[in-house]
Amino acid sequence: MTEPRMLSGDRPTGRLHLGHYVGSLANRIRLHRSYQSYFIIADLHMLTTRNTREDIAATAGLARDMVLDSLAAGLEPEHSVFYLQSAIPEVAEISVLIQSLITVPRLERVPSLKEMARAAGIGEMPYALLGYPVLQAADILGIRADAVPVGRDNAPHVEIAREVARRFNHLYGPTLPVPALVPAATPSLVGTDGRGKMSKTAGNAIYLSDSADEVRRKVARMYTDPQRVRVDMPGTVEGNPVFAYHDEFNGDRAEVAALKRRYLAGTVGDVEVKERLAAAVNRFLDPMRERRARFEASGGLVEDLIVTGTRRARREVQRTVTDMRRAMGLTAVFSQLREGAHRADGAHRADGAHPAGHARQISGADGI
Ligand code: ATP
Ligand code: MG
């Protein structure tokens, strides 16, 4: 029995933040040693909302940052295969092979796509964005992943990959594993402004690479209970982002329980609650800072991991495409034609005749 496989990853659109951590990184780190773990740098997916030459030129640097963030957060290089999606053309081929297995109305019902178009300021849905889950299915099925840890907004995409795998196996015979979704313990982390989820574009993120000072500044400005104008007023803990972060990142559970009690009773100020939160977040990030410094010091290591990982992932995806083409009967189609061509060639040679002028013209024109 081979180890089960995991696939997860991100678009190289910026540094990773605490929202990414709770949404997918935490699961990746928890599981990656017990799986063959593949982590995609989804630069083709980035093209769905960012496709200028400048956007593309920034990818190498962003890919490096993303992998460095992941290593700093706790993914071990010896247990992780990082790869660049666009360097594996067979991913695009799989995406074409599975296109007929899903309908447009099914894709139009995926809630995250409209949200992504809106967030990117795109009025009409690009074809590529509608096909985002199809390309993601190609990533997942190409690696033959058994498990896919993703955040809440990405879960419907994994469901599409499952549907596609089932339909493929039904039509062409058992070929692809049906991947399981690994949901996050905390589906979504609120931003520091309390206005919805933490995200790069909303400017409400604490990054894994933020310095201790940046963390203190961001936490000091955090949105808290707006009704509470005096320290001695009882405050609200439920739905308060400061306490949501305490729950998530403060390992000192006794301190969190005491702070909540005092907040509800009106015996602790927001300043103290936030100072303790900043300290807790920094305790959480400190080991990441140490690991980051170590990986940064070994120059070229991150790039080397991506290049080696891409070669390895490509071999896997190539194997899958071969299996898929064979299962579909596509391989046989061209083989039959080739055999016919050989027969014609042989027959002409036996006759001492030249192939028909027309055929010669075509083959000359195509260079095949
Ligand atoms: P952008 O602002 O450019 O949309 P972002 O910060 O929202 O960026 P994405 O690249 O959209 O980050 O997110 C990638 C994945 O990370 C999402 O599919 C989701 O699973 C997870 N994720 C992002 N933000 C959060 C969050 N605040 N809480 C939980 N998961 C998150
Ligand atoms: Mg987003």
CATH of the domain at 85: 3.40.50.620
Domain for residue 207, yes or no? no
Domain for residue 334, yes or no? no
Residues surrounding ion ligand 2 at CB below 5 Å: 199
Q: Do residue 87 and residue 140 come from a single domain?
A: yes
Q: Do residue 314 and residue 174 come from a single domain?
A: yes
Question: How far apart (Å, rounded) are the C-alpha atoms in residues 95 and 97?
Answer: 6
Domain for residue 186, yes or no? yes
Domain for residue 17, yes or no? yes
Tell me, in angstroms, the distance from the centre of ligand 1 to residue 266's CA. Answer: 35
Q: What is the dihedral of CA 47, 23, 314, 147, to 10 degrees?
A: -130
Q: Do residue 101 and residue 216 come from a single domain?
A: no
Task: Report the CATH number that the domain containing residue 265 is assigned in CATH.
Answer: 1.10.240.10
Q: Which domain holds residue 273?
A: 212-289
Q: Do residue 308 and residue 225 come from a single domain?
A: no
Q: Is the CB of 45 under 6 A from ligand 1?
A: no
pTM: 0.90
Question: How far apart (Å, rounded) are the C-alpha atoms in residues 153 and 41?
Answer: 18
Question: How far apart (Å, rounded) are the C-alpha atoms in residues 26 and 288?
Answer: 13
Q: Do residue 119 and residue 266 come from a single domain?
A: no
In the DSSP assignment, the letter for residue 110 is -
Q: Which long-range contacts (CB under 8 A, 24 or more apart) does 184-187 make?
A: 184/22, 184/23, 184/24, 184/26, 184/27, 184/149, 184/150, 184/151, 184/152, 185/22, 185/26, 185/27, 186/22, 186/23, 186/248, 187/23, 187/151, 187/152
- To test the pocket of ligand 1, the residue of 153, 159, 209 to mutate (highest count of ligand atoms within 8 Å of its CB) is 153
Longest dimension (CA), the chain: 105
Tell me the C-alpha to C-alpha distance, in Å, between residue 36 and each of 140, 159, 184: 13, 21, 19
- To test the pocket of ligand 1, the residue of 199, 200, 248, 249 to mutate (highest count of ligand atoms within 8 Å of its CB) is 199
Q: Do residue 117 and residue 99 come from a single domain?
A: yes
> Among 289, 312, 338, which residue terminates a domain?
289
> Among 264, 289, 314, which residue terminates a domain?
289
Tell me, in angstroms, the distance from the centre of ligand 1 to residue 20's CA. Answer: 6
Question: How far apart (Å, rounded) are the C-alpha atoms in residues 61 and 168?
Answer: 37
Tell me, in angstroms, the distance from the centre of ligand 1 to residue 206's CA. Answer: 12
Q: Do residue 224 and residue 249 come from a single domain?
A: yes
Q: What is the dihedral of CA 293, 297, 303, 304, to 10 degrees?
A: -120
Question: How far apart (Å, rounded) are the C-alpha atoms in residues 232 and 306?
Answer: 54
> What pLDDT score was predicted for residue 57?
97
Q: Is the CB of 112 under 6 A from ligand 1?
A: no
Q: How many CB atoms lie within 10 A of CB 1?
A: 3
The closest-lying atom of ligand 1 relative to the alpha carbon of residue 199 is: 6
Residue of the CA atom closest to atom 24 of ligand 1: 19
Domain for residue 107, yes or no? yes
Q: Do residue 99 and residue 217 come from a single domain?
A: no
Q: Is the model's pLDDT at 187 over the cut of 90?
A: no
Q: Do residue 234 and residue 267 come from a single domain?
A: yes
Q: Is the model's pLDDT at 56 over the cut of 90?
A: yes
Choice between 2 and 200, residue whose per-residue pLDDT is larger: 200
Q: Do residue 40 and residue 112 come from a single domain?
A: yes
Tell me, in angstroms, the distance from the centre of ligand 2 to residue 278's CA. Answer: 24
Q: Is the CB of 18 under 6 A from ligand 1?
A: no
Average pLDDT of 39-63? 96
Domain for residue 42, yes or no? yes
Tokens of 30: 């928890």
Q: Do residue 279 and residue 306 come from a single domain?
A: no
Q: Do residue 309 and residue 235 come from a single domain?
A: no
Domain for residue 340, yes or no? no
Rg (CA), the chain: 26
**Helix or strand holding residue 76 (H, E):** none
Q: Is the CB of 201 under 6 A from ligand 1?
A: yes
Nearest to 38 by CA among 72, 85, 89, 1: 85
Domain for residue 222, yes or no? yes
Total of domains in the chain: 2
pLDDT in tens, 110-160: 988 888 888 888 888 889 999 999 999 999 999 999 999 988 889 999 999
